[in-house]
Amino acid sequence: MTVGLVSLGCAKNAADLEVRVGRMLSEGWTLSSTPDRCDALVVNTCAFIESAREEAEREIRRALSLKRKGAVKRVFVAGCYPERYPERASLFKGVDSWEGVPKKFGCQRIPGLRLSGKAFAYLKIAEGCSHRCAYCAIPAIRGKYRSRPMSAILKEARDFVRTGVRELNVIAQDPMLYGVDFKPAPGKSRPNLVTLLKALDRIRGDFMVRVLYSYPNEITDEFLGWMRTSPRAVKYVDVPLQHTDPAVLKAMARGSAVKATQEAAERIRAAVPGVTLRTTVMTGFPGETAAAFARMLADVKRMQFDHLGVFAYSPEEGTAGAAMKGRPPMRVAQSRALKIMAAQKRIWDRKAKSMVGLELPALVVSPGVARLESQAPDVDGVVRFSDEDAAIAPVGEFVLVRLIEVREYDFIGEIV
């Protein structure tokens, strides 16, 4: 029996799919090399925002069309969409399984199964979120924060490294809170994220560790110390500010992070020289006045992030933000988002041009494509090189590249 995969949404969702498919492989299934012609097609969905739900619905309908044509025999829908909307199964006639997100970490992933490819893997350390940000439906979809047992994480990490992974990307809704729900052993302190990271450091092998997504007010000096001193640590911090205006942050239920948000870039750069900083911001949240937006735009220019993503707010049912008044029209939110990205593009262009001519280590992630330490998977750019260089740069190996040109958000490089 063959199974094909369609994976939508974030890296955490992809990690869930690897667990699910690993379970199927242990039951005798084999992965299909032609996902549109198989015994079962798994559509792993996202439901975080409206555009993600629309994409999920399109892919479900496409899968059902393949089933009607006889190209696939069964359609399994999984992930956040059925978790958030269990009642909608009846709207999609012909779906054979309607299953939400995994409820526990009992199933280990198959070491050789990586949707991300050979070179890197996502190491999920927790599920759910206990924050109550006014714009976010994740707690309703995935439940409260639950840390994964450290022994299971370390076993999975060792398996990944043994099968050739060179970059472990530590992920969760909030990695900084890892261990907060653990009960400490008698006479010992409770393990935390840095405890886990130091244990990962001790695994034998040639690999690096990148931590993705960090709330600004939860980044500890201990964590920054690990990043500064560990030979495995990728000096990269993804710190989603969402906004910088105090009134908007308070409306978002992120008021406790106002000071940390405004000082984030300066503090992290002072603690970790050479660090790469990424953030995400949102325009158009209820209460965002012209002055509040102007403040955020000025802060984006001041903080000079290396990478930045922005999206226009859309209300999510069941969240506090959906009931708030004073939301700017969508056209205003989108216009503001474009202004943020225009400012960030100027910052990126200047930073990227200053890197041309440098020789830097990079990880080859696919034929002819590599990533610098300053480039996280899926969200930042890449380094592209010629077919001739691709022939001498195997996927999964570290190489030294000379950056020779900037193209939009990518570099053109050559193997040194």
Q: Beta partners for 292?
A: none
Contact in structure between 30 and 38 (CB atoms under 8 Å): no
Q: How far apart are CA 163 and CA 386, in angstroms?
A: 27
Counting other chains too, the contacts that 94-100 makes at CB distance below 8 Å and 24 or more residues apart are: 94/64, 94/67, 94/68, 95/60, 95/64, 96/40, 99/20
Q: Beta partners for 403?
A: 413
Q: How far apart are CA 373 and CA 401, in angstroms?
A: 12
Predicted pLDDT at 359: 97
Q: How far apart are CA 363 and CA 382, in angstroms?
A: 10
Strands 383-384 and 398-407: unpaired
- What three-state secondary structure class fits 358? coil
Which residue do the tokens 């996280």 mark?
A: 376
Is the backbone of residue 95 left (phi > 0), alpha (psi -120 to 50) or beta? beta
Structural domains in the chain? 2-99 (3.40.50.12160), 120-354 (3.80.30.20), 359-415 (2.40.50.140)
Where helices occur in 27-108 by DSSP H, the ranges are 50-68, 80-84
Q: Beta partners for 120?
A: 167
Q: How far apart are CA 392 and CA 411, in angstroms?
A: 19
Predicted pLDDT at 80: 87
- Whole-structure pTM value: 0.86
Q: What is the pLDDT of residues 307-328, one digit of tens each?
A: 999 999 989 888 999 999 999 9
pLDDT 10s per residue in the chain (416 long)? 898 888 887 777 777 887 777 778 878 888 887 878 899 999 988 887 788 888 999 999 999 999 999 999 999 998 888 888 888 888 898 999 888 776 665 455 555 566 666 799 999 999 889 888 999 988 888 889 999 999 999 999 999 999 899 999 999 999 999 999 998 878 888 899 999 999 999 999 999 999 999 888 889 999 999 999 999 999 999 999 999 999 999 999 987 777 778 788 899 999 999 999 999 999 999 999 999 999 999 999 999 999 999 999 989 888 999 999 999 999 999 999 999 999 999 999 999 999 999 999 999 999 899 999 999 998 999 999 988 888 888 889 999 999 999 999 999 999 98
